[in-house]
Amino acid sequence: MSLKDYEILSKLGEGAYSIVFKVRRLSDNKIYALKKVRLCRLKEKEKRNALNEVRILASIHHKNVISYKEAFYDDDSQSLCLVMEYADGGDLFQKVQFYQKKGTYMSEKFIWGLVIQIARGTKALHELNIVHRDLKSANVFLTTDGKIKIGDMNVSKVAKGCLEHTQTGTPYYASPEVWKDLPYDIRSDLWSFGCVLYEAICLKPPFRGEDMQSLFKKVTKGEYTPIPRTFSQDLQQIVSHLLQINPSNRLTCSQILQLPCVINHINDIICEETENLLLKTINFPTKINKVIENLPRPNFEETIPNNNKSLVLPQMGTKNIIIRDISAPPLKTHQERENSEKSLYYLKKYREMILKQNYGALQLPKVKYPIQNVASGKCINGKVQKEFTIAQRIKSEKISRKPSTNRSIAVGHKPPDN
């Protein structure tokens, strides 16, 4: 796997250490997002962040989180390349800007979809104790079929039973505890969630200031203008319960999804709950070109499993036939965590494919039975066995009968003289 396997279509964005491209994978002709990080220019901490994003994306399998496809190291450009799901509807920040120019608010139906799907995606992260740390409208991605996905895990971190201290994220969405340089945890994301929701409703962030000092005062005091009255009181309540100065007073994602007003809108938005498992930390190797050995497996739909196991079919009278490199069902990064229905479905397809491609290996060989004599006179269980002979069938001669006598005379022989 390398950059030669992809056709670069356009540039989607550029950061301080990376560039994101819209690409087409040549093998399946599908569109993906490819993030290219120049590792040779990064410090050790930045390199760990790049590998940490790969680890977190590969750990989460949820419809409301941008999915991991594959990661590889490109020798020519000395870059770590991360291939991800492509959101064909842009991001929420672009949508906010569009409605700002249009001069109208977004529909409340879309806002409820935003509440439910961001809550589900954030819940999947928090269940693994992952703090996103940079949840903002530019990192909430949209698809043309109505799905909303959280992405950009570059500064996300796994909280190992303690609070974080590092100041990170975008100032407009940062929580009061981050501004005050106090310890924080996953509840910091809930504040950012409230800021994103407010911005989608009002088309502007809840906290703004002429400079960093004035912004700091507004955030730490929790002062913001209420949302327009054209929106329901239920939305106002959710926003106010997320933008709480005290982190312990904020609604968790699970609590949001259990609110009656939210449940009334959930029926319109179907999402499959999946079980996620956090991958081990990806250590950065001494030799940079060996980074590929530590990367997770590809997660494309048509990926062939590379588990070094071959299917062996026994055959009578011959050696075992070993079938290698045959098509297989889609392989997730952790296939043991797939639900039973998908596993059974793929297993059925897998078996049908084997039968179709290797039917000849399953046919029994033809056996020719030679002339045999069954041993006689042997005593088995106190009984003497009779003798049987299996011989080739011989064509019999024609026999004629003389009416005057009752003897059979063979044709071609004279009767004896009296």
CATH number where 255 lies: 1.10.510.10
- d(Cα 91, Cα 363) in Å, to the nearest integer? 56
Contact 355, 361 (CB under 8 A): no
Quick check: 248 and 238 in contact, CB under 8 A? Answer: no
- Note whether 144 and 43 are same-domain residues: no
> Contact 146/95 with Cβ under 8 angstroms?
no
Tokens standing for residue 264: 């009334």
Q: Taking the model in full, what pTM does it have?
A: 0.67
DSSP string, 339-377: -HHHHHHHHHHHHHHHHHHSGGGGSPPP-PPPP-EE--S
Q: What is the pLDDT of residues 359-417, one digit of tens each?
A: 554 454 555 545 444 444 555 555 555 555 555 555 555 555 555 555 544 445 555 55
pLDDT at 307 over 90: no
**Containing domain of residue 52, as a range?**
1-86
- Residue 304 within any structural domain of the chain: no
**22 and 47 share one domain:** yes
pLDDT higher than 60, residue 170: yes
Neighbour-count burial for 229-244, b at 16+ CB within 10 Å, e otherwise: eebeebbeebbbbbbb
Q: Are residues 50 and 140 in the same domain?
A: no
The one-letter amino acid code at 152 reads D
- If asked whether residues 74 and 15 sit together in one domain, one would say yes
Domain stop point among 64, 86, 108 = 86
- Do both 82 and 92 map to the same domain? no
352 exposure class (CB count in 10 Å sphere: 0-12, 13-18, 19+): exposed
**Which among 134, 211, 234, 417 is annotated as catalytic?**
134
One domain, residues 196 and 257: yes
Which of the 8 DSSP states describes residue 255? H
At 72, which helix (H) or strand (E)?
strand 68-74
**CA neighbor of 273 nearest in space, from 131, 130, 61, 114:** 61
Q: Which residues pair with 72 in a beta bridge?
A: 81
Same domain for 273 and 183: yes
| 268 flagged as catalytic | no
Place of tokens 């106002």: 236
175-228 pLDDT, tens digit each: 999 999 898 899 999 999 999 999 999 999 999 988 899 999 999 999 899 999
Q: Are residues 226 and 197 in the same domain?
A: yes
Total length of the chain: 418
Q: Position of tokens 């100032």?
A: 171
Query: Which of 264, 279, 294 corresponds to the end of one domain?
Result: 279
Chain mean pLDDT for the chain: 76
- CATH number of the domain to which 60 belongs: 3.30.200.20
Which span out of 213-217, 276-280, 302-306, 320-324 was modeled with the highest average pLDDT? 213-217
Mapped onto helix, strand or coil, the DSSP state of residue 38 is strand
**What Rg do the C-alpha atoms of the chain give, in angstroms?**
36
398/230: higher pLDDT: 230
Helix (H) or strand (E) holding 194: helix 187-202
pLDDT digits (tens, 9 = 90+) for 133-150: 899 999 999 999 999 999
Domain identity same for 231 and 179: yes
Of 252, 279, 306, which marks where a domain is finished?
279
Instruction: Give yes or no: residues 43 and 63 share one domain.
Output: yes
Q: Tell me: the pLDDT tens digits for 249-296?
A: 999 999 999 999 999 888 655 554 555 555 555 554 555 555 566 677
Residue 204 marked in a binding site: no
Instruction: Kindly state the tokens that stand for 392.
Output: 């080739």
CB 192 within 8 A of CB 152: no
Domain count within the chain: 2
Phi, psi torsion values for 186, nearest 5 degrees: -65, -20
